[in-house]
A = this chain, B = another copy of it.
């Protein structure tokens, strides 16, 4: 059994478990009380805050513990926007942020604010120049993740932070994926993170607001955590979160190098082992433990199911696994294939043998799913006609692309195939297939039902 989805949630780190159990007896009382049980709880809370602040690289009084990373992001964005309400109501985010950031942005927009989403390159990174160009005189806040949660690409947060500082705009960094690997460089203003991503317990997020940043906490008043996180403090969990963050950061250099070698193996070998695969995300500027690839002619959900049966727990940003049936906004923003998407994120301690077994199992799993779906194996000579129309209406990802691949050989070079499809993923995956196959994507046209995607055979 190999759990390869630590980017979703990590098993509890031994240090977290130990700290949690040790503080269950000491940390249950109200730290605002003056009697001995309260004073003991307060000491634990203060020590945890100092440890977490040290790990983040901030002052203890700049750091609040929130009930989750999501709440840290929601509260951080809402408080920073409200604190700079007089400056304006413009918010800048990247197009590949975590949903908690994008949901905050949508909520801000619904309340009358404006939002600019900065695009990314095919590797998933923003350019500091494009990001800077989005800043305006009425920009109240900018948000940028330190590293992407779906493809592992690191963002140029230090450069963007400098540009924001020069423009007088506070930058909130969502450090959920990178904090276990070290502090976030640069002069950011706010930072959010989540303990269960590094092996701390669930129920703990971090919100850091640097001194001098205008901040007005939203929602009903509450005196706890500097007024930034209402509700009774969860001290045993907070103690466990802080202790495990220090522990994982102390192991980060060594463990990061080891896992980077393992993910590099997947990056390098998957394209040779599985035909029609695109490895996505930056090959160099990336998280050490995370690698993502997409496979033509399969749906992510079935691949995940088959990998689970083979003993591997991985994740997918593929349209087919989400309840909304829309492809991952990250892969969409990158303009890469979303079909058959697989994200592998290795927990600390992952063994080389597990990765080797994964590489052994994967080709058979993908081939099996392709066979079930009737995907094209090799092009056979067929009667050519200058233009073909394929009706894939009502067919779900990856079927429209499979249909396209089956008939492209039927038209002469220079001829076109028009795919009629109403599955949302087709809009992303047909152009991505063209890019991978060296075919020309002509464009999308309206149709009576769904859309018509026109592809010209180039080779």
Interface residues of A (CB under 8 A from B): 1, 3, 5, 8-12, 17, 20-21, 24-25, 28-30, 33-38, 67-71, 74, 78, 99-100, 103-104, 106-107, 194, 196, 201-203, 205, 219-223, 230-237, 301, 304-305, 307-308, 313-315, 321, 323
Known: A107-B219, A220-B106, A221-B106. A35 touches B308 (CB 8 A): yes
Known: A67-B231, A68-B230, A232-B68. A103 touches B34 (CB 8 A): no
Contacts of A220 in B (CB 8 A): 74, 100, 103-104, 106-107
Is the beta-carbon distance between A196 and B232 smaller than 8 angstroms?
yes
Top 3 nearest A-B pairs (CB, nearest first) are: A68-B231, A67-B67, A35-B313
Known: A30-B8, A36-B308. A222 touches B103 (CB 8 A): yes
Is the beta-carbon distance between A205 and B231 smaller than 8 angstroms?
yes
**Contact with A221, one of B24, B25, B78, B107 (Cβ below 8 angstroms):** B107
Known: A35-B5, A221-B106. A203 touches B29 (CB 8 A): no
Is the beta-carbon distance between A10 and B35 smaller than 8 angstroms?
no
Give chain B nearest CB distance to A288 CB in angstroms: 21
Is the beta-carbon distance between B107 and A203 smaller than 8 angstroms?
no
Q: List 25 A-B contacts (CB under 8 A).
A: A1-B36, A3-B37, A8-B30, A9-B232, A12-B24, A17-B24, A21-B21, A34-B304, A34-B305, A35-B308, A35-B313, A37-B313, A67-B71, A68-B231, A69-B232, A99-B222, A100-B230, A103-B221, A103-B222, A104-B220, A194-B232, A201-B234, A202-B233, A219-B219, A234-B237
5 new A-B pairs (CB below 8 Å) besides A10-B28, A67-B71, A67-B203?
Answer: A3-B37, A5-B35, A104-B220, A194-B232, A223-B323
Chain B residue at minimal CB-CB distance from A7: B30
Contacts of A221 in B (CB 8 A): 103, 106-107
How far apart are the CA atoms of A192 and B31 in the complex, in Å? 22
Is the beta-carbon distance between A29 and B8 smaller than 8 angstroms?
yes
Contacts of A8 in B (CB 8 A): 29-30, 33
How far apart are the CA atoms of A219 and B301 in the complex, in Å? 31
How far apart are the CA atoms of A231 and B73 in the complex, in Å? 10
How far apart are the CA atoms of A223 and B324 in the complex, in Å? 11
How far apart are the CA atoms of A220 and B235 in the complex, in Å? 26
How far apart are the CA atoms of A37 and B201 in the complex, in Å? 16
Is the beta-carbon distance between A219 and B74 smaller than 8 angstroms?
yes
**Contact with A33, one of B5, B74, B104, B196 (Cβ below 8 angstroms):** B5
Is the beta-carbon distance between A313 and B203 smaller than 8 angstroms?
no
**Contact with A314, one of B3, B20, B35, B308 (Cβ below 8 angstroms):** B35
Contacts of A3 in B (CB 8 A): 29, 35, 37
Contacts of A304 in B (CB 8 A): 34-35
How far apart are the CA atoms of A222 and B69 in the complex, in Å? 12
Known: A33-B313, A221-B106. A28 touches B12 (CB 8 A): yes
Contacts of A1 in B (CB 8 A): 36
Contacts of A71 in B (CB 8 A): 67, 230-231
**Contact with A9, one of B29, B196, B202, B305 (Cβ below 8 angstroms):** B29
Known: A8-B29, A202-B237, A222-B100. A70 touches B231 (CB 8 A): yes
Is the beta-carbon distance between B70 and A33 smaller than 8 angstroms?
no
Contacts of A205 in B (CB 8 A): 231
Contacts of A231 in B (CB 8 A): 67-71, 205
How far apart are the CA atoms of A210 and B5 in the complex, in Å? 36
Contacts of A321 in B (CB 8 A): 34
Is the beta-carbon distance between B35 and A9 smaller than 8 angstroms?
no
How far apart are the CA atoms of A314 and B308 in the complex, in Å? 53
Known: A28-B11, A35-B313, A107-B219. A203 touches B234 (CB 8 A): yes
